[in-house]
């Protein structure tokens, strides 16, 4: 039907509406639009810069550090030298008003290698806790100390989990008692699974000041290894994946720290605890605040691994021949690759949405942070498993990186809230009910 035929059939009212719509659309052409998924030039520059480091420094070293199962200090130092690891770097990525700075950087780093990526980014969980809960003075003092200096690089650890408090953070048994005589906090207990635990200077430790209050009686404490006696590393964990990242138990035994080392300050903590005891509303628990803020970034890490595996499988499928043709010419392989790309892009949209909401203080209504981490984690596990399938026998060997990516991806179903716990959080948010 021609355009003139269409207008002949239209009612006068419809014609008016159509004209108004056309006018509005053509009028909008020159205007600024507030919604856009296009990256700015600055964001593209940062992405490409981090990608260069990931491709040139991390990828070539990934296999070696995975086999060594050691913290890749020389690579963290390289990252510090170029400003990728450090207070200024992380502040710059966080400062991006769209919220996309951190996810973009994390996706590229973890595309390079997840174990090394976690050695570089593991510090950021402690940083997020200090930033989210510390006073201005504490932020200024402790965040730079988490990173150290270019000549003396440090990492930091966030210690919430315990042998009997994993998904159930309210089960934390580590106690913090205040000693009025010495004006010190005295911490005692055992932390489990701490990334960088025992090899860091700054440890942010979640402890209970009043066990009867459950998670509402928790507070976050700065425990610097260089100052505090009574903190020590327990066993280092030998892991399935992320093997270049150090994970260990941390013991606190009559560990004394100054009164001012509780995040937010003792006065605020005392006020909060008093409110809880009176049955009044108080801010959410210390560990949960940190996890809520960091979930989209963790999702972006999973995306980086998934993208690495997808790209590798795509290239392989275009090269490898069986039955006289490239294996990608079989629909089953091509469709698998199509779905890999689709799932990665879908997960990225969730990650970017939650990151934007988090940065712009748009409250999560339906646990959008949990959604992003859940989806990205599941996509990473599925995509890396499919990548092994596309490579066939080669995919199953340590001669090719996809088996490492599959091992690395699995953690994204587990830490910072398991897949089941994310579903619990989402189902509670959408229903307003206490789903168990
Ligand atoms: C490599 C690595 C690094 C880590 N880094 C850190 C760190 O830096 N700091 C830190 O504090 N912790 C860290 N963790 C700990 C991590 O956060 C916990 O492992 C995770 O929260 C799960 O706890 P859990 O292992 O005790 O499992 P459990 O809580 O025992 O869960 C076991 C299973 O039961 C399921 N489950 C439990 N409760 C429910 C429920 N209510 N409904 C349905 N299913 C349920 C879980 O989903 C899971 O499948 C790390 C762990 C690993 C493996």
Q: Is 242 in the pocket of ligand 1 (CB under 6 A)?
A: yes
Q: Is 424 in the pocket of ligand 1 (CB under 6 A)?
A: yes
Name the residue of 115, 239, 415 whose CB sits within 8 Å of the most ligand 1 atoms, as the mutation to test its pocket: 415
pLDDT of residue 17: 65
Task: Measure the CA–CA gap between 106 and 117, rounded to whole angstroms.
Answer: 8
Question: Hey, which residues are catalytic here?
Answer: 416
What is the 415 CA–ligand 1 centroid distance (Å)?
6
pLDDT of residue 293: 73
Q: pLDDT tens across 269-326, in order?
A: 999 999 999 988 776 666 676 677 789 999 999 999 999 999 999 999 999 999 999 9
pLDDT of residue 134: 96
Q: Is 170 in the pocket of ligand 1 (CB under 6 A)?
A: no
Q: pLDDT tens across 135-165, in order?
A: 999 999 999 999 999 999 999 999 999 999 9
The percentage of residues in the chain with a pLDDT greater than 90, rounded to a whole number, is: 88
What is the 108 CA–ligand 1 centroid distance (Å)?
26
**Residue 335 predicted with pLDDT over 90:** yes
Name the residue of 418, 420, 427 whose CB sits within 8 Å of the most ligand 1 atoms, as the mutation to test its pocket: 418
5-14, 322-331, 388-397: which range is least confident on average? 5-14
Task: Measure the CA–CA gap between 152 and 181, rounded to whole angstroms.
Answer: 36
Q: Is 159 in the pocket of ligand 1 (CB under 6 A)?
A: yes
Regarding beta strands 202-208 and 156-159, do their DSSP bridges make them parallel or antiparallel, or are they unpaired? parallel
Task: Measure the CA–CA gap between 177 and 269, rounded to whole angstroms.
Answer: 13
What is the 275 CA–ligand 1 centroid distance (Å)?
30
**Residue 13 predicted with pLDDT over 70:** no
What is the 90 CA–ligand 1 centroid distance (Å)?
27
Mean pLDDT along residues 240-249: 98
Name the residue of 163, 166, 200, 411 whose CB sits within 8 Å of the most ligand 1 atoms, as the mutation to test its pocket: 166
pLDDT of residue 25: 60
Sign of CA dihedral 284, 286, 288, 293: positive
Residue nearest to atom 30 of ligand 1 (CA): 166
The percentage of residues in the chain with a pLDDT greater than 70, rounded to a whole number, is: 91
Q: Please tell me the pTM assigned to this model.
A: 0.93
**Residue 4 predicted with pLDDT over 50:** no
Per DSSP, the three-state class of 254 is strand
Per DSSP, the three-state class of 153 is strand
**Residue 27 predicted with pLDDT over 80:** no
Q: pLDDT tens across 66-120, in order?
A: 999 999 999 999 999 999 999 999 999 999 999 999 999 999 999 999 999 999 9
pLDDT of residue 8: 45
What is the 141 CA–ligand 1 centroid distance (Å)?
31
What is the 417 CA–ligand 1 centroid distance (Å)?
6
Task: Decide: residue 82, CB within 10 A, 0-12 exposed, 13-18 middle, 19+ buried.
Answer: middle
Residue nearest to atom 17 of ligand 1 (CA): 415
Mean pLDDT along residues 121-125: 96
Residue nearest to atom 4 of ligand 1 (CA): 193
Cα-Cα-Cα-Cα dihedral of 210, 214, 218, 223, to 10°? 80
Interaxial angle between packed helices 368-391 and 419-431, expressed in degrees from 0 to 180 and rounded to the nearest 10:
140
Compute the mean pLDDT over every residue in the chain, rounded to the nearest whole number: 93
Q: pLDDT tens across 400-415, in order?
A: 999 999 999 999 999 9
pLDDT of residue 332: 98
């Amino acid at each position: 039907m021609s355009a003139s035929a269409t207008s002949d059939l239209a009612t006068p009212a419809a014609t008016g509406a159509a004209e108004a719509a056309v006018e509005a659309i053509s009028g909008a052409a020159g205007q600024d639009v507030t919604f856009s998924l296009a990256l700015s030039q600055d964001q593209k520059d940062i992405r490409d810069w981090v990608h260069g480091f990931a491709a040139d420094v991390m990828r070539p070293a990934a296999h070696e550090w995975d086999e060594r199962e050691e913290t890749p200090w020389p690579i963290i130092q390289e990252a510090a030298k170029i400003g990728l690891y450090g207070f200024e770097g992380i502040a710059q990525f966080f400062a991006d008003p769209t919220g996309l700075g951190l996810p973009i950087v994390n996706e590229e780093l973890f595309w390079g290698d997840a174990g090394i990526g976690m050695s570089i980014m593991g510090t950021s969980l402690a940083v997020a806790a200090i930033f989210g809960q510390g006073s201005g003075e504490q932020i200024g003092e402790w965040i730079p100390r988490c990173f150290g200096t270019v000549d003396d690089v440090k990492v930091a650890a966030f210690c919430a989990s315990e042998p009997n408090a994993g998904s159930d953070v309210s089960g934390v048994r580590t106690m913090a008692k205040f000693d009025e005589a010495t004006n010190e906090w005295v911490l005692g207990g055992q932390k489990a699974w701490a990334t960088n635990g025992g090899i860091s200077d700054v440890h942010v430790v979640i402890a209970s000041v009043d066990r009867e209050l459950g998670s509402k009686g928790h507070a976050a404490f700065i425990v610097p290894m260089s100052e505090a006696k009574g903190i020590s590393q327990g066993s280092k964990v030998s892991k399935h994946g992320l093997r270049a990242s150090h994970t260990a138990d941390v013991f606190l035994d009559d560990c004394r720290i100054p009164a001012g080392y509780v995040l937010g300050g003792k006065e605020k903590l005392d006020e909060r605890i008093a409110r809880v005891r009176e049955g009044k509303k108080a801010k959410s628990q210390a560990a949960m605040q940190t996890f809520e803020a960091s979930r989209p970034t963790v999702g972006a890490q999973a995306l980086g691994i998934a993208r690495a595996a997808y790209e590798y499988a795509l290239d392989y499928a275009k090269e490898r021949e069986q039955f006289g043709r490239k294996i990608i010419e079989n629909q089953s392989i091509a469709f698998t690759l199509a779905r890999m790309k689709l799932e990665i892009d879908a997960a990225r949209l969730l990650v970017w949405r939650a990151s934007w909401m988090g940065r712009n203080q748009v409250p999560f209504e339906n646990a959008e942070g949990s959604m992003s981490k859940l989806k990205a984690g599941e996509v990473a596990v599925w995509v890396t498993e499919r990548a092994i399938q596309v490579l066939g026998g080669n995919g199953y060997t340590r001669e090719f990186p996809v088996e490492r990516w599959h091992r690395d991806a699995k953690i994204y179903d587990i830490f910072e809230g398991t897949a089941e716990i994310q579903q619990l959080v989402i189902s509670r948010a959408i229903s307003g009910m206490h789903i168990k």
